[in-house]
Chain A
């Protein structure tokens, strides 16, 4: 047999290359030159900006490349932009926090860039194995980042749990892909899968269903869906706060990108099989996340459970499997990126001294000592609770409308009830900040410019994206046109 090297264009994966090269450059410079480098954050931001420009430049393309392994389409691009935004905001948060721990090192930024490349691969995959590769590129970088504070036992424990369970879940994912490979008769292209699986439905249906089940497990793990969520609170609590923020938004976004792409593109014919499964997962995820969050007193852990609940909301959109549902996934991830990173920004500002102030009661009376900071946190809490006119409200509105449109009335009702439960613990923070006297003097908070800018920008954007959702709605609507089944 002969293997022909297919033609390809590097331009279509330009953003990946930029980030990967940038990351390698950081590693090289860090290794080859002496002294402490202070310019890595700026350089990383510049690289991310360049990647964003490349993405915008590519906007409108609608093709595949690298022997149909990679989609070059708006759905991928929109995710690129969300991922780049997440990475950039994370980097803004990082510097002073890392310095506090004495860990402001080049590889931190390189790893974030590498992880972002992996995420982009997931968002653009046209072939199952690309999804796996992207997932692993992302995961391996994030495992390291979770344990980045090597001298901290909690950070170690977080990395360990994430790695073992992550590898375990990836193995299930891989098993699923292998069965799919068999069921489809030797193809793993997403668009071909849809055809082949339906053609050969009777014979290989059990194998296909098994594969779908295992894929649900693999993706379910990455998005932290119940019962594959157990790692989330521990890892989110133990990891460096900036990385927690990054994991909560970007890892989730990438996983949902692949999740949606696979299930909307490859398995639409099996919607009858998986919709009830995801229905149950969505309800369990929302409910458990919101209920257990109530009992938390560590703010990082509370936000971890809240992140589980938010994964549940997005699963609702996946169940709906209509255009509005797909749009709402994109919108919600954007909104979640803004409000969650903002909230973690406040957490970083308040925590100080190697995370000494992570208890929610440390926020008592914050409004009297730092009104601006408290106002920002209040915005994020309102947004996470889904109150108008913030982006959090609009996102939930889209998701639940999509569910109603698709006929899942009860799912929408349960979702709304869950939002009501969540109001309790989000508002508790606001009440603590505004209506309680400070437990003890909070002491001075160092408002470093980058973190402050990040918090202000996300707070403003959370409100603006909520008030003006139209432009992003249109972009997202345009980008989900690639799913013929919706």
Chain B
């Protein structure tokens, strides 16, 4: 299908993922959901890299390698994120964003 063989399709896909992620970060109160939403945005960026790699770049590998790097980094970030959320949970007995507002002003 022609539509799968053009750059715009993938950029729109990335945009949709990005929008979903953005909504999640701003609207969800559950910390895990917020974290997942951030991951969605990262995935959107990855799709961008892959798409540009496929349609624009002369070198076939760079974009893909970058995507691999991002995966690794995202995994590390998620691990740290989850452990911080666990620590928060132990202290606050909640994983709701609204609970963590002691620091302000």
A171 touches B41 (CB 8 A): yes
Q: How far does the alpha carbon of A129 sit from the alpha carbon of B85 in the complex, in Å?
A: 28
Task: Name the residue on B nearest A295 (C-beta).
Answer: B105
CB of A238 within 8 Å of the partner chain: yes
B102 touches A136 (CB 8 A): no
Which of A157, A177, A179 has the largest count of B CB atoms less than 10 A from its CB? A157
The residue that A156 contacts in the complex, of B7, B41, B53, B87, with Cβ under 8 A, is B87
Within the complex, the shortest CB–CB distance from A233 to chain B, in Å, comes to: 8
Q: How far does the alpha carbon of A147 sit from the alpha carbon of B86 in the complex, in Å?
A: 12
A158 touches B63 (CB 8 A): no
Which of A133, A147, A174 has the largest count of B CB atoms less than 10 A from its CB? A174
Q: How far does the alpha carbon of A113 sit from the alpha carbon of B61 in the complex, in Å?
A: 32
Q: A161-B100, A164-B38, A182-B56 are in contact. Are A133 and B87 (CB under 8 A)?
A: no
Q: Which residues of B contact A237 (CB under 8 A)?
A: 103
The residue that B63 contacts in the complex, of A147, A171, A181, with Cβ under 8 A, is A181
CB of A95 within 8 Å of the partner chain: no
Task: Name the residue on A nearest B45 (C-beta).
Answer: A174
The residue that B62 contacts in the complex, of A143, A150, A152, A186, with Cβ under 8 A, is A186
Q: Which residues of A contact B102 (CB under 8 A)?
A: 153-154, 157
B65-83 contacts to A, CB under 8 A, are 66, 69-70, 73, 76-77, 80-81
A159 touches B66 (CB 8 A): no
A174-193 contacts to B, CB under 8 A, are 174-175, 177-179, 181-182, 185-188
The residue that A132 contacts in the complex, of B69, B76, B100, with Cβ under 8 A, is B69
Q: Which residues of A contact B31 (CB under 8 A)?
A: 160, 164
CB of B13 within 8 Å of the partner chain: no
- Bitwise, B23-67 to A at CB < 8 A (1) or not (0) is 001000001001100100110110011011100111111110010
B57 touches A3 (CB 8 A): no
CB of A168 within 8 Å of the partner chain: yes
CB of A98 within 8 Å of the partner chain: no
Q: Which residues of B contact A3 (CB under 8 A)?
A: 61
Q: Which of the four size classes fits the interface of chain B?
A: 35 or more
The residue that B49 contacts in the complex, of A150, A158, A181, A233, with Cβ under 8 A, is A181
B38 touches A168 (CB 8 A): yes
A153 touches B105 (CB 8 A): no
A167 touches B103 (CB 8 A): no
B56 touches A185 (CB 8 A): yes
Q: A168-B25, A186-B53 are in contact. Are A147 and B38 (CB under 8 A)?
A: no
A140 touches B87 (CB 8 A): no
B48 touches A1 (CB 8 A): no
B62 touches A147 (CB 8 A): no
CB of A163 within 8 Å of the partner chain: yes
Q: How far does the alpha carbon of A144 sit from the alpha carbon of B84 in the complex, in Å?
A: 8
The residue that A181 contacts in the complex, of B38, B57, B70, with Cβ under 8 A, is B57
Within the complex, the shortest CB–CB distance from A178 to chain B, in Å, comes to: 4
Task: Name the residue on B nearest A292 (C-beta).
Answer: B105
Within the complex, the shortest CB–CB distance from A227 to chain B, in Å, comes to: 15
CB of B92 within 8 Å of the partner chain: yes
Q: A158-B103, A186-B57 are in contact. Are A147 and B77 (CB under 8 A)?
A: no
The residue that A164 contacts in the complex, of B21, B35, B91, with Cβ under 8 A, is B35
A171 touches B100 (CB 8 A): no
Within the complex, the shortest CB–CB distance from A379 to chain B, in Å, comes to: 28
A157 touches B100 (CB 8 A): yes
B80 touches A144 (CB 8 A): yes
A1-23 contacts to B, CB under 8 A, are 1, 3
A160 touches B42 (CB 8 A): no
The residue that B103 contacts in the complex, of A154, A168, A177, with Cβ under 8 A, is A154
B62 touches A188 (CB 8 A): yes
CB of B88 within 8 Å of the partner chain: yes
A150 touches B44 (CB 8 A): no
Q: Which residues of A contact B73 (CB under 8 A)?
A: 132-133, 136
Q: A140-B76, A168-B25, A186-B57 are in contact. Are A181 and B87 (CB under 8 A)?
A: no
Within the complex, the shortest CB–CB distance from A321 to chain B, in Å, comes to: 28
Q: Which residues of A contact B62 (CB under 8 A)?
A: 186-188
Task: Name the residue on A nearest B44 (C-beta).
Answer: A175
Pull 7 A–B residue pairs with CB atoms less than 8 Å apart, ordered by A.
Answer: A136-B76, A144-B84, A153-B102, A163-B84, A164-B81, A167-B35, A186-B58
List B residues at the A interface (Cβ < 8 Å): 7, 18, 21, 25, 31, 34-35, 38, 41-42, 44-45, 48-49, 51-53, 56-63, 66, 69-70, 73, 76-77, 80-81, 84-85, 87-88, 90-92, 100-105
